[in-house]
Amino acid sequence: MIKKKHFGKFFKWGVTISAFQNEGAAFEDGKSASIWDTFTSDVQNINDGNLPGETAGFYHNYEADILEARQLGLDVFRFSLSWPRILPNGTGAFNPKGLDFYNRVIDACLKNKLEPWVTIYHWDLPQVLEDRGGWTNREVVDWFLHYTDVVTSAFGDRVKHWIVMNEPMSFTGLGYFTGYHAPGRNGIGNFMKAAHHATLCMAEGGRMVRRNVEHAVVGVALSCSYVKSTDQWFFNKRAARRVEALLNRFFIEPLLGLGYPTDIMPALNIIKSYFKPGDAERLAFDFDFIGLQYYFRVVARFSLFPPVLFATEVPPLSRTKKLTSMGLDAYPKGLAHLLDFYMCYDGIKQIILTESGVCYTDFLRGDKVNDALRKKYHQKMLKQVKRAIRRGVPVKGYFAWTLVDNFEWREGFQPRFGLVYNDFETQKRTLKASGAWFRDFLNEND
């Protein structure tokens, strides 16, 4: 049985939310449209056919949600800032009402003895900047630094923990390569430019945070997957290594000063055509911690499509029936492999699991939600963390995704990840069995 004491006195226990997925109030108090407001205004871009509306209503219910987090026994509340709420024009003058909202959120965290961990960018680029090329425009580095300067200057007196960016592979790959996510663009050229500019922004943003915030603790949150080959055939094993390079190495290595992983994917040398003098040095930054976010396993095999990658995933349904409601292969044992994988890098000081969660179909029966599978998932993940700590891996925190059921990007409202059930019509919250387990686990005295 796992107990809180197994993780040490200084281990961080948190929960994570994001601005677009939770806030709602898309055009209130001076906020302009983000690329996700634009993308989801077309119902054809939402798989379950439900427009986001007020999402999880955090803009109007933040005090109650933060109190709920505290009552669960958590000590960290991680949330992201909305770029278009703070800078409606993307650059230039800030919106006082936008800053005021986040000041109130930060104060509510501190009042409830929760450390506010702020994510500067969680995918909601102002639409006015996308109209100028978005992440494919080199000017985005200057836009992002201006935004980072504004928010760190405004909140740095009370916020000491900063995550510069959330899951760059997700928003560049799905948003600019496959077109599955906002802004719906595709093509290898768009991806390469967007990815390189995002990497520059993470490093330069980290430097900006450190300049502006005294005693800042600076990190970045990277998505990752446990990747294995479908068999031992040479070409399948090489394909799995390429997928691993794309999903697990692509961003961490340049941030550590190692460059992009062209050893296994020579085609990535294309990205160097977007370099300017000094970029190789500018890409590296000495982060205080690396946030890892692991949701699913990938089994890969050789394929002639897509080009550059020359690999494809073996469909999860063809190899296991234990899938999430998004059809993903949640595999807690994969976390052990990933933690060992990342600890091979000398430049990583600490690891925080900045998101960990799973979606299953939940049923509200009276005032109860018995989400036994989610509870078991978190327990299995924490067992892997405990074992990794015993092996000497410096894992220093575990943040559940997410507090309250919210809007899951293109998937809509159907996938539920929360520890708290949300009735999206009434915004009534109901603590799930998984949330009750966390509360009891974190408040144990022995």
Token pair belonging to 126: 């102002």
Chain-centre distance for alpha carbon 177: 18
Active-site positions? 167, 355
Chain-centre distance for alpha carbon 41: 23
Inter-residue contact 19 to 81 (CB < 8 Å): yes
Inter-residue contact 23 to 82 (CB < 8 Å): yes
Q: Is 147 exposed, middle or buried (0-12, 13-18, 19+ CB in 10 A)?
A: buried
Secondary-structure percent of the chain, ordered helix, strand, coil, rounded to 5 = 40, 20, 40
Please, what sign has the CA dihedral across residues 83, 88, 89, 91? negative
**Segment holding 205, helix H or strand E:** helix 188-212
User: In 10 A of CB 197, how many CB atoms?
Assistant: 24
Per-residue burial over 243-271, b = 16 or more CB atoms within 10 Å of its CB, e = otherwise: bbbbbbbbbbbbbbebebbeeebeebebb
User: In 10 A of CB 180, how many CB atoms?
Assistant: 14
Q: Indicate the DSSP class of residue 178.
A: B
β-pairing verdict for 351-356 and 395-401: parallel
Rg (CA), the chain: 21
Degrees, nearest 5: CA angle 26-32-33 = 70
Token pair belonging to 141: 């580095």
Q: φ and ψ at 264, to 5 degrees?
A: -100, -20
E strand residue ranges, 72-152: 76-80, 115-121
E strand residue ranges, 167-306: 217-229, 289-302
368: left (phi over 0), alpha (psi -120 to 50) or beta: beta
Q: Within 13 Å and on the Cβ side, how many CA atoms surround 226?
A: 17
β-pairing verdict for 289-302 and 311-313: antiparallel
Distances in whole angstroms, Cα of residue 416 to Cα of each of 266, 322, 363, 421 = 39, 16, 10, 8
